[in-house]
Structures are given as structure tokens and as C-alpha cells.
Amino acid sequence: KAGVTQTPRYLIKTRGQQVTLSCSPISGHRSVSWYQQTPGQGLQFLFEYFSETQRNKGNFPGRFSGRQFSNSRSEMNVSTLELGDSALYLCASSPLASDRITPLGYTFGSGTRLTVV
């Protein structure tokens, strides 16, 4: 059974550019959540998508957006990149939305390491 797949693994972008990251959840999982991990702030919740709808959103500026497709694959977009956006971006999948109790918990991908120069 394939795990959560994130692409690309590494990315280098210049300030002001935009970037799109992709996450393919475990087959059958309908919930995808995105997290940003930095040394200073730790892991912070960005947003959650379930059945193509954004369910929850963390405290990030509007430059951070996402979407989910009918096959549950999700993309995250960051526009007008800043140096502080350099981070490891992780996505996690779950069979159910976050407000439903799931015995399976969340499964994380290996992440996309974004470096903004």
C-alpha cells in the first residue's frame, strides 16, 4: 500500500516567485492536511481539505492557498515568496475529516524542503 507522496522533495525559489507543492494521499483517504515546519516555530497547521472543500485554516497569510482534486490529491501554493517561507512542508492524510474520530490517526509524507533565496 503506497504511502503519502509529496513532490518535489526539494525546491529552491527566488524571493517574489510563487511555488506549487503536491501531495497524493493514501488510496482511499479523503482528508489532506498541510503543515509548515521551521526550526523556530516548529510544526504549524496550514489547512485541511476534505472532499475538495477546505475544512480548517491555520493562521497564515493569504499568500498560502491550497486546493484538493476529486481524486483527493492536493496542491499547496505560495505566492510572492519571502525568505521566511523557507521550511519543510509536510502533508498528512487521513480517511476522515479532522472533526471525525478516526482510529487510524494521520499518516505523513516525507515533505518538500523549500528554500527561498
Q: Indicate the residue among 36 and 72 with the shorter CB distance to other proteins.
A: 36
Q: In angstroms, what is the minimal distance from the CB of 75 to other proteins?
A: 18
Quote the CA–CA distance of 10 and 114 in Å, as a whole number: 6
Q: In angstroms, what is the minimal distance from the CB of 11 to other proteins?
A: 14
Closest to 106 in 3D by CA, of 90, 95, 117: 95
Q: Which residues pair with 24 in a beta bridge?
A: 5
The answer to whether 112 and 6 have CB atoms below 8 angstroms apart is yes
Q: Indicate the residue among 48 and 85 with the shorter CB distance to other proteins.
A: 48
Residues contributing to the site for other proteins (CB under 8 A)? 4, 6, 33, 35, 42-45, 48, 56, 58, 88, 90, 92, 98-99, 101, 103-111, 113
